[in-house]
Structure 1
Amino acid sequence: MKLAAVTNEVAPLTGAGTLDTILRTAVDHGITLFEARTVESKRFPLLTGHAWEVLKGAQRKYGITYTAASAGNFIGMDVFSDMVALHKGGLWQMSMDMAEKMSTDTLITFAPQRSGTADKAEFEQVVNLLGDVVDSAATRGIKVQLENLPGTWADTSDSCLALLAAVNRDTFGYVWDTGNLYEAEQETFEAGFEKLKPYIRNVHLKDGQFIDGKMTWQHYGTGMTNVKGQIDALKSIGYTGTLALEAARIPHIEGDFEASLGYLRTIL
């Protein structure tokens, strides 16, 4: 398995001109794989010109490889929103263009929010929407990964499985985000893993637990999601893909990344 950092999860730096420090921090800890997400408070691909040049230049400067990019497609909207067409069109096109310039062949997408009705017809619209973005990416040699998120049509293990099976494209895989699943299901990963393991192409690692009814992110090994069990399960299927460290707590403080990375290396 390969460790990857995430652009907004390494250090609590969000201001202009801080990206280089974030990249260098991960490299200093032996990590040269990165997922591009939020950069200096702006979500990929809507970056400032300077941040974009730093992001691209890090490939030469630090030997960084971008394993995936995530534009946050369809977050916060249901399938009936007029924003969906903008995300499917301009935002997705820009994401593909910039992914090619970063030499990454993988984009991450989310599913739309469930509406108040959330019926079978709406599910079919979501399936068609995701199928369209996957097909458009495939024409350019880009693979797509579905990330689970509470409140969306890909919130629980069962709902993710339903979408993955219905879209049914060879270039459509799954980001196993165990922290988000725990938040949605309030149970550990085992049953969901058995259902989803054929689709797993990427892993987002978070740890935490519910405190006073609210999901609280914690350092790896101190929460209830069972990070060690997740690693053991991935080993059991011969998984060799990326483990993206979503190590930031809320509030994000200095040392979060280092603490969770240190624990993770003891169990790999």
Structure 2
Amino acid sequence: MKLAAVTDEISIDPHAAVYIGVKQFGIRHYELRMMPDGRVPDISEQTVDRLVGLKEKYGISYSAISAGLFKCEPIAEKMEHELRVRLEACIALAKRLDVSLITGFALIDHHRHRPAELFERAVPYFQQACERLAEVQMTFAVETEFMSGCETAAEARRMIERTGPRLKVNWDPANAWIAGELPLEGYVHVCGHLANVHVKDADTRDWRSRNPFVPLGDGKVPWQPVLDVLTRDRTAPMLTVETHVEPLIPNTEKGVSVLRKMLQNAEAGRDLSC
């Protein structure tokens, strides 16, 4: 499995993020999300040129366009904009940067919990997005996110069954844990459909009262057993550190270190079981 980091979980400045990530953390793969002038793909041509230059200067790759595609309320005009405008912008950016994965969400409502409704509204749009991306040899992956139509891995698997096998999963066990799903129970639903795994930790499911996320290793998400099965099965092409805790640089550095240690433990356990 390859290790990646979300650029703005190190710095909003992509050059600073990549420099620190390569020199200090030893990370060679980066998921693109927030830039100084907006969220990808809604960025300037100057920023795109900077991203191209960073690839050449540091010998890195970009693992995903984290556009937050369909992370909107189920309003027809907004969903059509995501499908007809932002998806095409994602494709154009992905071609420039040699990226094959675009991630998104099964709609969102931060005020009213209605996952079943959001799920149903997302299905036809996901079908069209997957068909369009297949035309350009790219993949769409839905992220597990509380207050969306795919809060858990079980719901993501059901979305695949409705949408088709072209849809993949950007599995975030911490998000699904906040939504009430135990990671190992969720894994069985998505183990053959993973495009990426977001790695972060949480210590509470009470996400409305405060930030539930904590530095990796300080929370309650059972990451070691998750990494044990991922190492055993080799089902996750990428593990992406998504810190979500200030201050970003030291907490991302800690997250990368803890993740590498847990992966070493997983490999050692795998060797002993052979």
TM-score (norm 1): 0.89
Shift of 1:51: 2.2
Shift of 1:44: 0.3
State the secondary structure of the residue aligned to 1:151. coil
- For residues 226 and 136 of structure 2, what CA distance do their matches in structure 1 show? 33
Shift of 1:34: 0.8
- For residues 252 and 54 of structure 2, what CA distance do their matches in structure 1 show? 20
Moved more, 153-162 or 85-94: 153-162
Matched, 1:206 2:216: no
State the secondary structure of the residue aligned to 1:82. helix
State the secondary structure of the residue aligned to 1:34. strand
Instruction: Give 1:180's match in structure 2, choosing from 175, 180, 183.
Output: 175
Shift of 1:262: 1.0
- For residues 14 and 10 of structure 2, what CA distance do their matches in structure 1 show? 10
State the secondary structure of the residue aligned to 1:104. coil
Instruction: Give 1:37's match in structure 2, choosing from 33, 53, 61.
Output: 33
Shift of 1:225: 0.5
Per the alignment, residue 139 of structure 2 pairs with 143
Shift of 1:41: 5.8
State the secondary structure of the residue aligned to 2:219. coil
**Inter-CA distance 85–263: structure 2 relative to 1 (3 Å threshold):** same
Gaps of 5+ in 2: 264-274
Amino acid in structure 2 at the alignment position of 1:52: V
CA RMSD between the two structures: 2.2
Instruction: Indicate the structure with greater helix content.
Output: 2
Higher RCO structure, 1 or 2 (CA under 8 Å, sep 6+): 1
Instruction: Give 2:107's match in structure 1, choosing from 102, 106, 112.
Output: 112
Shift of 1:30: 1.4
Matched, 1:23 2:12: no
Question: Retained in 2: the 8 A contact 1:183–1:215?
Answer: no
Question: Retained in 2: the 8 A contact 1:149–1:181?
Answer: yes
TM-score (norm 2): 0.87
Per the alignment, residue 164 of structure 2 pairs with 168
Gaps of 5+ in 1: none
Deviations 1:2-33 (A, max 9, x none): 1001111124xx3xxx3211111111121111
- For residues 45 and 94 of structure 1, what CA distance do their matches in structure 2 show? 6
Question: Retained in 1: the 8 A contact 2:139–2:167?
Answer: yes
Deviations 1:179-226 (A, max 9, x none): 1111111x5311111122121121001101118654521111110011
Question: Retained in 1: the 8 A contact 2:4–2:29?
Answer: yes
Amino acid in structure 1 at the alignment position of 2:101: T
**Inter-CA distance 60–122: structure 2 relative to 1 (3 Å threshold):** closer
Question: Retained in 2: the 8 A contact 1:178–1:204?
Answer: yes
Matched, 1:159 2:155: yes
**Inter-CA distance 22–152: structure 2 relative to 1 (3 Å threshold):** same
Query: Percent of aligned pairs with the same residue?
Result: 22
Question: Retained in 1: the 8 A contact 2:28–2:60?
Answer: yes
Instruction: Give 1:266's match in structure 2, choosing from 239, 242, 261.
Output: 261
